[in-house]
Amino acid sequence: MFRRYGGRVFAYALRHCGPAAAEDVLADTFLVAWRRLDDMPAEPLPWLLVIARNTMANDRRSRARRRRLSDAIAVWERLRPAANSVDHEVIGREVMLRALGTLTELEREALLLVAWDGLRPPDAATVAGCSLRAFEVRLQRARARLARAVEDEPPPHGTKITKLQGAPS
């Protein structure tokens, strides 16, 4: 079967893709045909060409998926912040923890409900057991005090302190 139809399948593949890819299509086509030998019709050429067409379509889809994945990874790489060394991260966390320690318990709770737990102020006020206005005042004071505490204790040169979500700019 390969000797009889291989050249024609190769020519078909060559019309649709380059020589190296056509060789791969030819090999894959006859591999599939061999596995599905029981399905082969009396006149196998159209069947073999359909297998070749499907093989090329699968390859195009695979290349498109790889390209989309590569593009997505490139976007994530551009968006990813520059990595700090582990010691800088530890120092930055230590500074942030000390700054959090300067807050009152109510201020710390307000800040962490929003920044750590991701609650919106109305929901966080419910959790804190106070009115929305009282919660917003606590949160505003916590942000301001945290910013001052971090500014008062600058980290060593080159250390990046990751700002808490909801912390003041």
All CATH 1.10.1740.10 domain ranges in the chain, comma separated: 2-79
List all residues 6 or more positions away from 132 whose beta carbon is below 8 Å from its beta carbon. 121, 122, 125
Average pLDDT, the chain: 85
Supply 133's token pair: 């206005």
CA gap 141, 133 in Å, rounded: 12
Q: What confidence tens digit (pLDDT) does each residue in 118-160 have?
A: 899 999 999 999 999 999 999 999 999 888 887 876 555 554 5
Condensed to tens digits (0 to 9), the pLDDT of residues 1-11 reads: 999 999 999 99
Quick: pLDDT tens for 23-38.
999 999 999 999 999 9
Range 2-79: architecture per CATH:
Orthogonal Bundle (1.10)
**Where in the sequence of the chain do the CATH 1.10.10.10 domains occur?**
86-152
Give the CATH number of domain 86-152: 1.10.10.10
pTM of the model: 0.47
Higher pLDDT, 142 or 83: 142
Q: Which residue in 137, 146, 141, 112 sits closest to 124, CA to CA?
A: 112
